[in-house]
Homo-oligomer: A and B are copies of this chain.
Amino acid sequence: MATAPLLAEARELELAEPLALDCGQRLQGVRIAFETYGRLDADNANTILIFHATTGDQHVASINPRTGKPGWWDRMVGPGKPIDTDRFFVLCANVLGGCMGSTGPSSLAADGAPYAMRFPVITIRDMVRAQVALLDSLGIERLHAAAGGSMGGMQALSLAANWPDRVERVLAIAATATMGAQNIAFQEVGRQAIMADPNWQGGHYYGTGKAPDAGLAVARMAAHITYLSEASLTEKFGRRLQDRTQKSFGFDADFQVESYLRHQGLSFISRFDANSYLYITRAMSYFDLAEEHGGRLAEAFAATTARFCVVSFDSDWLYPTEVSRRLVHGLNAAGAPVSFVELSAPFGHDSFLLEVPALDRVVRGFLDQ
């Protein structure tokens, strides 16, 4: 069977109403950059909203214009794929606070200068709020499903908790309902790396010709280690040397894993804005669905009628199965229908992005229910 090229429609929308944020501020003129795949059906009932992870974007299954690479969930989204664009109308928007077209710290404020650190501190719920406004604009009342991995999964959970009528199925992969202390710590290290870079200039680096690239690269390198399992690093690199047969007795990237990490840092700075990284990781560290709902996670899901599918990976040490289990307990306590599976996959947290055929089956099966 010949595969037709997947047509992504890149769109942008400016919200007519100001967006009321958790911090108390109202943000005017919020723009949301998003992509759509497939067609909305006559009943307006076949939309799947995909939320992206921390450093993802709306290019879920189209060529990313900044990197020239396929979309980050290209293997999952498309005609005949688990999230089947022949059947579903798929939406994916860049998060509020991002740097791929949606309003964020690099966007221009009313005075014509970039917000920089004048951008309000946002929450995961604010990100979802912007996407609910997008659904309103598109006339989509109720989603067939909301789905995401990592921070994407947190947004899907926040949608179910705070807009319970808007979604029928929630797929949360390698996610958590409450950001834990170790993750808050790693997020803080990333921000400190950026803010320690003199080129950060208090966030006012736009247009100066200098950006905190070195700090952002270090932040990315540290984070990247947490996305992979120890076993996958060992399998992929071990102690193998990079383009040499002997150690250099110097500080070049002697080991392949060092070279790989440096590459990860360098390629990241070419596609991501440092201030966006600050705001998005801040939103993550603030995330606690229980706290938002009187300290009881079950309370967060009291009003939802959605079915849930929670997936964890046995090699994920950043959002280990234990935190998915706690989420499931909260859902159980709320009486929500939930299926929970821990998949065996070697890649660590990034397993949700990589070739894990069992995940494909889980996703396809859940969306068909």
Binding site for B on A (CB under 8 A): 22-24, 117, 120-121, 178-182, 184-186, 188-189, 191-193, 195-198, 214-215, 217-218, 221-222, 225, 228, 230, 233-234, 236-239, 247-251, 253-255, 257-258, 261-262, 265, 278, 282, 285-286, 288, 291, 317
Contacts and interface: CB of A to CB of B under 8 A. Distances in A.
Given A182-B225, A184-B255, A193-B218, A239 B121 contact: no
Contacts of A215: 196
A45 B258 CA distance: 44
B184 A286 contact: no
Contacts of A121: 248-251
Contact of A249 (B120, B178, B214, B249): B120
A239 B181 contact: yes
Contacts of A178: 239
Nearest to A187: B258
A225 B186 contact: yes
Given A198-B198, A250-B121, A218 B189 contact: yes
Nearest to A238: B181
B258 A185 contact: yes
B185 A257 contact: yes
A186 B233 CA distance: 12
Top 7 A-B residue pairs of the complex, sorted by shortest distance between their CB atoms = A196-B214, A181-B233, A23-B249, A121-B249, A182-B230, A188-B258, A181-B257
A316 to B, nearest CB: 12
B251 A278 contact: yes
A221 B181 contact: no
Contact of A234 (B24, B182, B253, B254): B182
A169 B234 CA distance: 31
B188 A261 contact: yes
A127 B218 CA distance: 29
B196 A217 contact: yes
